[in-house]
Structure 1
Amino acid sequence: MTTPHSVPVSCDVLVVGAGPAGSACAQMLARAGFDVVLCDRHDFPRDKVCGDALIPDAHRALARLGVLDEVKAQAAGASHVGCFGPRGGRVDVPATLAVLPRRALDDIVRRAALAAGARWLAPAHFDAPLFDAGQRVAGARLRLGGGGVHELQARWTVLATGADSVALIAADMCLRRLPTGVALRGYVRNDAMATRIGRLEVVWHRALRTGYGWIFPCGDGVFNIGVGITHRDGQAGGSSAARDPSLREVFAAFLRVHGPARELMEGGTRLGELKGAPLRCSLEGARWSRAGLLVAGEAAGSTYLFTGEGIGKALETGMRAAEAIEAGADDDEAVRTGYEAALTALKPRFAHYEQANRINDHPWLADLLIWRARHSQRILGRLSGVLEETHNPATLVSAIGLLGLFLPFG
């Protein structure tokens, strides 16, 4: 925690939010010699609702930040995702995977930013942006832990405040208040299941509506178990995700239709309550920049709609924001143009995952893909390529892609 007499009054860059995007941005800028203040409304370590899975894009980003070895030392590694269809079919898809609760992961990335030279301020809640005479964002008004209001001047402000729309609204950056998805997860300890579930499991079923269920082993007999629903616009506000009764009904349905999930919960010890959170996906729902301010991470919609994966892309958007600020120096237009171009270049990939979200909408497609992948190394390789980001997921559900599923096995 920052003591009152150590609260900074100015900096080159203020990064609001110390999740993956904010801490990645802060580390890169501090490395480059910028005076960076990284703040968060919570002191760390803190809990964060997430599936906790690290797929290959996250591994690459963490390696670039120099923390992959530390993450892997604490994470539970896995080599496959077990995909289950509505009819009970299963295929194990190979990939480079790991599971580490966000309480640990986010603190590793945050501490790396501080080690690089960023200054830490918490708890500090973003209240509103500050403006100069030309209405350029010039820092932020923060509410500190003791209840006082503090104004922190900054040449650039980066909002990496997650899926909650409150900060986006305060900064006039919000284009859509409602999330594109919601998720509910809990932790359970079940030592008897530790040897039975050694891979990540993802389950599609009609009872799970427009979503899926998951079981991700965290190691030491602890599992992250949850459900996610996509395309929730107009049905659930971000602040109500944790209390959404329909989401709890979907979780109950997951336990009914997937035996391992039911056994895990019935024979295990729940570690805390089930917690929910909104998801902002597809790089939509927020403006990415304005004079003096950039939006990064899930605040910018950095989660993939189909898979619900967002850690790797949150890290990447944070690094892109840092690169734009470093390259543009004091040229506002250059920074904004560079950052907007970087996110625009990522947009087609997010669009591919949005198209692939048809599998969540129509679970029978998962049945078809799983059946074919069990009989075809070619199709199994495509599914693996989706996780490795070497294969376009949209082609799995396109007309041509579906036709290709019926070509001779091989």
Structure 2
Amino acid sequence: MGRVSPPVLPAACEVLVVGAGPAGSACARTLAAAGHDVLLVDQHVFPRDKVCGDGLIPDAHAALRVLGVHDEVMDRALRAAHVRCVAPRGGHVDVPGTLAVLPRRDLDDIVCRAARAAGARFAAPWRFVAPLLDGERVVGARLRGDGIEHEVRARWVVLATGAAAPPLVAAGVCERRAPSSVALRGYLHHPELAATLRELQIVWHPRLSGGYGWIFPGPGGTFNVGVGLTASHASEEGGRASMREVNLRRMLDTFAAVHAPAAGLLARGELRGDWKGAPLRCSLGGARWSRPGLLVTGEAAGSTYAFTGEGIGKALETGLLTAAALAEGGDDAAVRARHEAALAGLKPRFELYEKAAHVNRLPWLADLVVWRARRSPRILRRMSAVLEERQNPGRLLSWRGMTKLMFE
């Protein structure tokens, strides 16, 4: 396929949304449906690949229903009844939930097309270069495509550019260049295994200390297989976060060494595409959420959970919240205050998942939780409630929670 020349851009719009992933497209679709003049741009032509686990948990299902695309997504996704949590000693527990898997290439395209159907104009490939400024206020953006630069004036700019640091730096909102976590994933086609492995699997093991492995069965007998390392920016140099030394390919080999289904997939599955790595921004940290004339949303604002690495649902949710802050109108201060208050309202939940993430560094805790859940329907229900976001994960994975698990 030859290089695609970017389409002509308008000189101005009411809201310029930069990034057509879940957060950007959800925001654009909501605003356009309410009658706002929205221009949605992305550095890639859609459909395009995106590194992700592809798992859709209950918060994603809820947001997709709000956007009116849930039925279309589920028609193409592989549904699952539970997620299997595999502890270091090999014990496992199946946690029921509303679950599905659909590659991000398909999911993001569906949500982006919904934005266009609602009236948002879409243009790609255009990459964010820098904001246009009137004093301290952002009044648009300079975009680049195929060596051409174009300026678009806008009443508001929404930055939904994902985990990459350069757009945040260019926009003057980056507080930490290093990501929160890193992950590696590939697609392996194995129709025979697909007949029996129908659940999402998450695996903890001491040799994967600081992270975990996953196997998520997708449509057409293809599995999303990967490993993730949390707290990848843990080391500090001169007071600034920097990346830990990590070899994700070696971590993937370790995953295969400690988990038989992963070994079978890597040995006998047909690799579709390449193994790809990506950064993650978690816990609503690492970037300012706004500046005059500009709002930050989705993973650019850190919308991924630290404990699970799940980010699709929260990206969609933050995009909807950003749209609501803009749709209500008012002056700059009022819009920014609503946007920041909405994200701040999510912050306590993210902090609970940040605390729960210590199970990735102390995998023996997974052994304890799985051991108790296999013997206690009540604890299994609590794990399911965590998945559904009706239960505080700290009640299971805090030291106090561990004590209750031992003696209840």
| TM-score of the aligned structures, taking structure 1 as reference length | 0.95
Q: Which residue does 1:395 correspond to in 2?
A: 395
Q: How does 1:96-107 map to 2 (within 5 A)?
A: 96-107=98-109
Q: Distance in 2 between matches of 1:182 and 1:292?
A: 31
Give the superposition deviation at 1:113: 0.2
Q: Which residue does 2:16 correspond to in 1?
A: 14
2:371 corresponds to 1:371: yes
Determine if contact 1:59/1:312 at 8 Å carries over to the other structure. yes
Change (3 A) 1:3 1:115: farther
Counterpart code for 1:98 = A
Q: Distance in 1 between matches of 2:394 and 2:190?
A: 37
Give the superposition deviation at 1:407: 3.4
Q: Distance in 1 between matches of 2:174 and 2:7?
A: 34
Change (3 A) 1:59 1:151: same
2:318 corresponds to 1:313: no
Counterpart code for 1:303 = T
Q: Distance in 1 between matches of 2:385 and 2:187?
A: 29
Q: Which residue does 1:247 correspond to in 2?
A: 248
Q: Secondary structure at the match of 2:275?
A: strand
Give the superposition deviation at 1:2: 9.0
Q: Which residue does 1:217 correspond to in 2?
A: 217
Give the superposition deviation at 1:219: 2.3
2:190 corresponds to 1:190: yes
Q: Which residue does 1:131 correspond to in 2?
A: 133
Q: Distance in 2 between matches of 1:186 and 1:2?
A: 26
2:275 corresponds to 1:261: no
Q: Which residue does 1:33 correspond to in 2?
A: 35
Q: Secondary structure at the match of 1:375?
A: coil
Give the superposition deviation at 1:195: 1.6
Q: Distance in 2 between matches of 1:400 and 1:271?
A: 44
Q: Which residue does 1:167 correspond to in 2?
A: 167
Determine if contact 1:288/1:300 at 8 Å carries over to the other structure. yes
Number of residue equivalences: 400
Q: Secondary structure at the match of 2:64?
A: helix
Change (3 A) 1:348 1:4: closer
Q: Distance in 1 between matches of 2:119 and 2:169?
A: 30
Q: Secondary structure at the match of 2:272?
A: strand
Counterpart code for 1:178 = A
Q: Distance in 1 between matches of 2:123 and 2:220?
A: 33
Determine if contact 1:2/1:120 at 8 Å carries over to the other structure. no
1:70 to 69, 72, 76: 72
5+ residue gaps, structure 2, are 237-241
Counterpart code for 2:383 = L
Quote the sequence identity (%).
60
Change (3 A) 1:112 1:393: same
Counterpart code for 1:230 = T
Q: Which residue does 1:341 correspond to in 2?
A: 341
Q: Which residue does 1:47 correspond to in 2?
A: 49
Q: Distance in 2 between matches of 1:339 and 1:280?
A: 19
Q: Distance in 2 between matches of 1:111 and 1:2?
A: 19
CA RMSD across the alignment = 1.6
Give the superposition deviation at 1:43: 0.5
Q: Which residue does 2:120 correspond to in 1?
A: 118
Give the superposition deviation at 1:214: 0.3
Q: Distance in 2 between matches of 1:403 and 1:207?
A: 25
Q: How does 1:349-360 map to 2 (within 5 A)?
A: 349-360=349-360
2:179 corresponds to 1:179: yes
2:110 corresponds to 1:108: yes
Q: Distance in 2 between matches of 1:152 and 1:380?
A: 52
Counterpart code for 1:343 = L
User: Deviation above 6 Å: which 4+ runs of structure 1?
Assistant: 1-5
Counterpart code for 2:315 = A
Determine if contact 2:6/2:125 at 8 Å carries over to the other structure. no
Determine if contact 2:7/2:124 at 8 Å carries over to the other structure. no
Q: Distance in 1 between matches of 2:235 and 2:248?
A: 11
Q: Distance in 1 between matches of 2:105 and 2:307?
A: 24
| Deviating more after overlay: 101-110 vs 218-227 | 218-227
Counterpart code for 1:400 = R
Q: Secondary structure at the match of 1:406?
A: helix
Give the superposition deviation at 1:375: 0.4
Counterpart code for 1:69 = D
Change (3 A) 1:369 1:291: same
Give the superposition deviation at 1:3: 7.0
Deviations along 1:1-31, one digit per CA (max 9) or x if unpaired, are: 9977742110000000000000000001101
Counterpart code for 1:104 = D
Q: Distance in 2 between matches of 1:2 and 1:11?
A: 24
Q: Which residue does 1:152 correspond to in 2?
A: 152
Deviations along 1:138-165, one digit per CA (max 9) or x if unpaired, are: 0100002x21100000000000000000
Q: Secondary structure at the match of 1:367?
A: helix
| Deviating more after overlay: 17-26 vs 217-226 | 217-226
Counterpart code for 1:77 = R
5+ residue gaps, structure 1, are none
Deviations along 1:333-370, one digit per CA (max 9) or x if unpaired, are: 00000000001110000000001001101000000000
Q: Distance in 1 between matches of 2:186 and 2:397?
A: 31
